[in-house]
Structure 1
Amino acid sequence: MRSSVPARIGTWLIALLVGLVYGLAATIAHAYSIGWFPLGLVLAVVGCAALLMAVRLLTSDRWATLATGLGLMLTTLVFSGSGPGGSVIVPQTGLAVVWTFAVPILVAVAVAWPERLRPAA
C-alpha cells in the first residue's frame, strides 16, 4: 500500500534533514584517530551505512534513502571546502579522501540495492 503524496514528501524532507545532521557529525568526527587506527572514519562509515540501511528498510522507499544520502553528501561537500574565514574542517589528507569517496559509494549501494524478494505463494 502506498502512502499519500504529502506523507511521502514529508518523509523525504525528514530523511534529508536526518542526512544533513548525521553528515555534519560524521564529517567532523571522521578525522579522529587512536594511534594508527582511524576510529572516527570507521565509525562514520559504519554509522552512515547503518543509517542508510535503516531508512531503506523502515520506509521501503528508494527516494527516502536517496534524500538521506543527498543530505549526507551535501554536508560532506559543504564542509570539505574552506570557509569564509579560510578555516577548513576537512583538511586534504588520506582519511578525508577516503571519507569523500565513501559517502557517495554508500549512497549508491543503498539506493541501488534490490527490493526484498517475497516467497512465491
Structure 2
Amino acid sequence: MRNGWISRVLSWIAAALVGGVFGVAGTIGHSLMWGPLPVGLVVGAIACAAILVAIRALTHDRGATLAAGLGMLGMLVLISGVGPGGSVVVEDTLSGRIWIYLVAGLVLLTVAWPRLSRMPVGDRTGSES
C-alpha cells in the first residue's frame, strides 16, 4: 500500500516537471508568426495538448494530468511577468491573452474529460424495442 502511494506521488511530480517544460517551451514560442499565421501559438497548443492527452491516456489518472497542467500553468505564470531586466515574455496582446486562456482551457478539458472505459454500453443485439 505504501509503495503504491509513493509511486503515485512520484508520477505526479514527474508529470508536473514535464508539464512545466512544455509550458515554458510553448510560452517562449507562442508569439512566433510566419506572416499572418500564428505558427508558435498553433505548435505550442498542439504540443501542450498532446502531452496532456498522452499523460491522461497512459496513466489513466486525473491527478497526473492535473499535475502536468499545473506545471504548465505555473511556469506560464512564472515567466509571464516582467523580468528583472524589464523584459516580458508574454506581452499584453491578443496573442498573449489567447495563449494564457488556451493553455488553461486545454488543462481543464483534459482533466475533466470523462473516462470512456466506464461509460455504459448500449444494447449490442441490434434489436429495437
Q: TM-score, normalised by structure 1?
A: 0.93
Residues 29-86 of structure 1 show CA distances to partners (whole Å, capped at 9, x for unaligned) of 0000100000000011111111100000000000000000000001111111101221
Deviates more, 1:78-87 or 1:66-75: 78-87
Segments of structure 1 that go 5 or more residues without pairing to the other structure are none
Give the structure 2 partner of residue 13 of structure 1: 13
Give the structure 1 partner of residue 40 of structure 2: 40
Task: Say how many residue pairs are matched.
Answer: 118
- Runs of 4+ residues deviating >3 angstroms: none
Give the structure 1 partner of residue 84 of structure 2: 84
For residue 117 of structure 2, give the secondary structure of its aligned residue in structure 1.
coil
- Identical columns (%): 46
Letter in 1 for 2:111: V
**Residue correspondence of structure 1 range 48-87 to structure 2 within 5 A:** 48-87=48-87
Instruction: Point out the structure with max Rg over C-alpha.
Output: 2
Deviates more, 1:60-69 or 1:3-12: 3-12
Give the structure 1 partner of residue 125 of structure 2: none
Give the structure 2 partner of residue 101 of structure 1: 101
Q: CA deviation at 1:116?
A: 1.9
For residue 32 of structure 2, give the secondary structure of its aligned residue in structure 1.
coil
Matched, 1:31 2:42: no
Q: CA deviation at 1:111?
A: 0.3
RMSD over equivalenced CA pairs, Å: 1.3
Q: CA deviation at 1:117?
A: 2.5
Letter in 2 for 1:58: L
Segments of structure 2 that go 5 or more residues without pairing to the other structure are 122-129
Letter in 2 for 1:31: S
Q: TM-score, normalised by structure 2?
A: 0.87
* Residues in 1 aligned to 2:83 and 2:9: alpha-carbon distance in whole angstroms: 32
